[in-house]
Amino acid sequence: MRKMLAAVSRVLSSVAQKTASRVLVASCHFANDATFEIKKCDLHRLEEGPPVTTVLTRENGLKYYRMMQTVRRMELKADRLYKQKIIRGFCHLCDGQEACCVGLEAGINPTDHLITEYRAHGFTFTRGLSVREILAELTGRRYGCAKGKGGSMHIYAKNFYGGNGIVGAQVPLGAGIPLACKYNGKDEVCLTLYGDGAANQGQIFEAYNMAALWKLPCIFICENNRCGMGTSVERAAASTDYYKRGDFIPGLRADGMDVLCVWEATKFAAAYCRSGKGPILMELQTYRYHGHSMSDPGVSYHTGEEIQEVRSKSDSIMLLKDRMVNSNLASVEELKEIDVEVRKEIEDAAQFATADPEPPLEELGYHIYCNDPPFEVRGVNQWIKFKSIS
Ligand SMILES: Cc1ncc(C[n+]2csc(CCOP(=O)(O)OP(=O)(O)O)c2C)c(N)n1
Ligand SMILES: [Mg+2]
Report the pLDDT averaged over residues 134-163.
Answer: 96
Question: Mean pLDDT for the chain?
Answer: 93
Give the chain's domain count. Answer: 2
Q: Does residue 240 surpass a pLDDT of 80?
A: yes
CA distance 195 to 221: 8
- Which of the ligands is closest to the CA of residue 92? 1
Position in ligand 1 atom list of the atom nearest CA 195: 15
Nearest 10 degrees: Cα torsion 104, 106, 112, 114: 30
Determine the pLDDT at residue 10: 61
Q: Does residue 319 surpass a pLDDT of 90?
A: yes
Which 3-state string (H, E, C) describes the chain?
CHHHHHHHHHHHHHHHHHHHHHHHHHHHCCCCEEEEECCCCEEECCCCCCCCEEEEEHHHHHHHHHHHHHHHHHHHHHHHHHHCCCCCCCCCCCCCCHHHHHHHHHCCCCCCEEECCCCCHHHHHHCCCCHHHHHHHHCCCCCCCCCCCCCCCCCCECCECCCCCCCCCHHHHHHHHHHHHHHCCCCCCEEEEEECCHHHCHHHHHHHHHHHHCCCCEEEEEEECCEECCEEHHHHCCCCCHHHCCCCCCEEEEECCCHHHHHHHHHHHHHHHHCCCCCEEEEEECCCCCCCCCCCCCCCCCCHHHHHHHHHHHCHHHHHHHHHHHCCCCCHHHHHHHHHHHHHHHHHHHHHHHHCCCCCHHHCCCCCCCCCCCEEEECCCCCCEEEECC
Q: 9: pLDDT confidence band, cut at 50, 70 and 90?
A: low
Q: Is residue 24 part of a domain?
A: no
Q: Is residue 196 part of a domain?
A: yes
Determine the pLDDT at residue 233: 97
87 CA distance to ligand 1 centroid (A)? 21
- Which of the ligands is closest to the CA of residue 167? 1
Q: Does residue 212 surpass a pLDDT of 60?
A: yes
105 CA distance to ligand 1 centroid (A)? 23
7 CA distance to ligand 1 centroid (A)? 63
Q: 125: pLDDT confidence band, cut at 50, 70 and 90?
A: very high
Q: Residue whose CA is closest, atom 21 of ligand 1?
A: 195
The string of pLDDT tens digits covering residues 273-300 is 999 999 999 999 999 999 999 988 888 8
Determine the pLDDT at residue 16: 53
Q: Is residue 221 part of a domain?
A: yes
Please tell me which residue, 189 or 373, carries the higher pLDDT value.
Answer: 189
Q: Is residue 26 part of a domain?
A: no
Q: Is residue 258 part of a domain?
A: yes
Determine the pLDDT at residue 12: 53
The string of pLDDT tens digits covering residues 81-106 is 999 999 999 999 999 999 999 999 99
Q: Is residue 351 part of a domain?
A: yes
Please tell me which residue, 133 or 373, carries the higher pLDDT value.
Answer: 133
- Which of the ligands is closest to the CA of residue 90? 1
243 CA distance to ligand 2 centroid (A)? 14
Are 322 and 369 in a shared domain?
A: no
Report the pLDDT averaged over residues 113-140.
Answer: 98
Cα four-point dihedral sign 164, 72, 218, 114: positive
CA distance 125 to 73: 12
From 90, 203, 229, the mutation candidate for ligand 1 (largest count of ligand atoms within 8 A of CB) is: 229
Q: Residue whose CA is closest, atom 11 of ligand 1?
A: 228
Are 379 and 236 in a shared domain?
A: no
Determine the pLDDT at residue 374: 78
Position in ligand 1 atom list of the atom nearest CA 94: 21
pTM > 0.85: yes or no: yes
CA distance 123 to 170: 14
200 CA distance to ligand 1 centroid (A)? 11
- CA nearest 328: which of 64, 19, 35, 22? 35
- Which of the ligands is closest to the CA of residue 292? 1
Q: Residue whose CA is closest, atom 7 of ligand 1?
A: 167
Are 328 and 265 in a shared domain?
A: yes
Q: Residue whose CA is closest, atom 3 of ligand 1?
A: 167
Q: Which residues line ligand 1 (CB under 6 A)?
A: 119, 165-167, 195-198, 225, 228-229, 292
Q: 390: pLDDT confidence band, cut at 50, 70 and 90?
A: confident
Determine the pLDDT at residue 389: 85
301 CA distance to ligand 1 centroid (A)? 16
Q: 368: pLDDT confidence band, cut at 50, 70 and 90?
A: confident
Are 255 and 274 in a shared domain?
A: yes
Position in ligand 1 atom list of the atom nearest CA 165: 25
Per cent of the chain over pLDDT 90 is 83
Per cent of the chain over pLDDT 70 is 93
**What's the Cα-to-Cα distance from 286 to each of 163, 222, 225, 254, rounded to whole Å?**
19, 10, 5, 9
Are 240 and 368 in a shared domain?
A: no
Q: Does residue 385 surpass a pLDDT of 70?
A: yes
Expressed as residue numbers, the domain containing 169 is 33-359
From 91, 93, 119, 167, the mutation candidate for ligand 1 (largest count of ligand atoms within 8 A of CB) is: 167
Q: Does residue 350 surpass a pLDDT of 50?
A: yes
Are 296 and 346 in a shared domain?
A: yes
Q: 13: pLDDT confidence band, cut at 50, 70 and 90?
A: low
Are 259 and 370 in a shared domain?
A: no
Q: 14: pLDDT confidence band, cut at 50, 70 and 90?
A: low
Q: Does residue 123 surpass a pLDDT of 80?
A: yes
- Which of the ligands is closest to the CA of residue 193? 1
217 CA distance to ligand 2 centroid (A)? 24
What CATH number is associated with residue 164?
A: 3.40.50.970
Please tell me which residue, 115 or 1, carries the higher pLDDT value.
Answer: 115
Q: Is residue 6 part of a domain?
A: no
Report the pLDDT averaged over residues 194-220.
Answer: 98
Are 157 and 178 in a shared domain?
A: yes
Report the pLDDT averaged over residues 302-306.
Answer: 88
Are 246 and 385 in a shared domain?
A: no
230 CA distance to ligand 2 centroid (A)? 9
Q: Is residue 105 part of a domain?
A: yes
Q: Does residue 69 surpass a pLDDT of 50?
A: yes
Q: Does residue 310 surpass a pLDDT of 70?
A: yes
Position in ligand 1 atom list of the atom nearest CA 225: 20
The string of pLDDT tens digits covering residues 23-66 is 444 556 999 999 999 999 999 999 999 999 999 999 999 999 99
Determine the pLDDT at residue 27: 55
Are 313 and 371 in a shared domain?
A: no
Are 196 and 217 in a shared domain?
A: yes
174 CA distance to ligand 2 centroid (A)? 18
Are 383 and 309 in a shared domain?
A: no
